[in-house]
Amino acid sequence: MAKTKIENIAWLIAWDKELGEHVFMNDVDMVFEGNSIIHIGNGYDGAADTTISGRGRMVMPGFVDIHSHPTSEPLRRSMTDETLSPGFHHSSLYEYLPVFASTPESAAASMQVAIAELLKSGVTTLVDLSMPFDGWLDILGESGMRVCAAPMYRDARWFTRDGHRLEYEWDTGQGRAAMDNAFQLVERARQHPSGRLSGMICPAQIDTCTAELLKESHAFAVERDLPFQIHVSQSVTEFHEMYRRHGRTPVQWMDDLGVLDDRAILGHAIFLDHHPWLHWTSRDDLPLLAERGATVAHCPTVFVRRGISLRSFGSYLKAGVNVGIGTDTYPHNFLTELRVASYTARTIAETVADHRASDILNAATINGARALRRDDIGRLEVGAKADFVIVDLDDPAMRPVYDPMRTLLYSADDRVIRDVWVDGVEVVKEGRVLTIDLEAATAALEKAQADVLKRIPELDWANRSIEAMAPRSLPIRR
């Protein structure tokens, strides 16, 4: 196996096992052989097949994105930023997403655009929650990214006839067939020749799955030692619907079923019983998440667009909940997601003391790795995977250099990320993605969006056009 040395690294974010935290190191070497790190420290004197200068650079662990929908979200760019849905507390889930729906033709282009954006912003591990289609795993394998494939399935689809009442169309036979197919896809992912794919069990939403489907799904995850993820407490409508059905909050119902544990990842988990929009009479959900060891996949941007926020990022951490970060919407710029997470939390908490930059970094790295039940990613230490990011400290956006992690988080952006390596292979070089033809994928996505727009009136309950559902920010003068 080839041995690569990055020497004289100006700043390196290493994992200190004794302290149990990330630390800065200055003027050090990092060496990896094949896909594993074999040395971090001063003065590596051994031979190397390739030597790279680390002067004027920061080397940091690749980010772990634990919740994303790359096959659909890029298609909706500029369409769902300002959509209104007052009948559903402005959640876009029920009135808009079924109408602005991706097609098999658009899925491949959409995911290539999303993955390219994620790679350029430093993500090396991605959880892809998608409705599977032919060729899905192969595209993931060719992307060069480390991906946990999470094929979604459910017993029911939701719809509305009037913009304020939510209805469900149930087909448990179809749900079981989709679950069985997902189990097979997860096994195929784990055996993929790239060696970078793994799998996750992912019943889609808490309100679209029967108790039987959830319990069987979780049992399979336990049997194969896989993570388990589901969208939970993501809207006011869902919270009240689940309480109407079961007399329990969504989180408490999960616990009743025995599927809330340390392998469970809850997509969003915003509307817990302490959220002020609910005006609920208990405060039991957050302590229950911490007690069971569950993870929350926090995706702030998609909710902040609608005036919705976790209450708050720091409060969840202080309660003992493991919180990771996801990109539930466009843009798939992970650094933007981190900045939104931080600023929103401090605004909601009304104090900068809600969290520190190190908490954001942990959520983006080791917390995500913990959620995926891995200790070899999200950190730079001997024995870990060679998944890392190289940041240009000479870029004006990173200067002057006092605390390069805070500068990257609060001042710079993905433009200062020069190189990204996954599994010991360079996938981004000088800001250009090597594994995806981004221009071709973007052109295909533009065509796919144009085709989708034509279908919107026939899918919408009120037969509205795209111009009526998502008016442009400025009028077009004819």
pLDDT of residue 427: 98
* H helix intervals, 35-152: 104-120, 136-142
Tell me the two tokens of residue 100: 């602005």
Q: Which amino acid is at 380?
A: L
The predicted structure's pLDDT at residue 43: 84
CB 107 within 8 A of CB 168: no
- The phi, psi pair for 40, rounded to 5°, reads -140, 120
The residue ranges of every structural domain in the chain are: 3-61+381-433, 63-371
Question: In this predicted structure, what is the pLDDT of residue 478?
Answer: 86
Structure token pair of residue 152? 């979604």
Please tell me the predicted confidence (pLDDT) of residue 139. 94
- Give the model's pLDDT for residue 463: 94
Q: What is the pLDDT of residue 400?
A: 96
Q: What is the pLDDT of residue 78?
A: 86
Q: What tokens appear for 16 in the block? A: 């200190």
Residues 6+ apart with CB under 8 A from 434: 144, 426, 427, 428
Question: What pLDDT, on the 0 to 100 scale, is given for residue 241?
Answer: 98
List the CATH code of the domain at 63-371: 3.20.20.140
The whole-number pLDDT of residue 98 equals 87
Q: Angle at the Cα of 19 (from 15 to 25), degrees rounded to 5?
A: 45
CA 190, chain centre distance (Å) = 20
> How many C-beta atoms surround the C-beta of residue 477 within 10 A?
4
Residue 420 CA neighbour count, 13 Å, CB half: 29
Candidates 382, 364, 287; CA nearest to 325 is 364
pLDDT in tens, the chain (478 residues): 899 999 999 999 999 999 999 999 999 999 999 999 999 999 898 999 999 999 999 999 999 999 999 999 998 888 888 888 999 999 989 998 888 877 777 899 999 999 999 999 999 999 999 999 999 999 999 999 999 999 999 999 999 999 999 999 999 999 999 999 999 999 999 999 999 999 999 999 999 999 999 999 999 999 999 999 999 999 999 999 999 999 999 999 999 999 999 999 999 999 999 999 999 999 999 999 999 999 999 999 999 999 999 999 999 999 999 999 999 999 999 999 999 999 999 999 999 999 999 999 999 999 999 999 999 999 999 999 999 999 999 999 999 999 999 999 999 989 999 999 999 999 999 999 999 999 999 999 999 999 888 999 999 999 999 999 999 999 999 8
| Cβ 31 vs Cβ 4: under 8 Å | yes
What pLDDT does residue 309 have?
Answer: 97
Q: What class is the 3-61+381-433 domain?
A: mainly beta
The Cα-based distances of 322 to 144, 165, 294, 364, 415 in angstroms read 28, 34, 7, 11, 29
Strand partners, 97: none
Q: What is the pLDDT of residue 452?
A: 87
pLDDT of residue 138: 94
Per the CB < 8 A criterion, the answer to whether 122 and 334 are in contact is yes
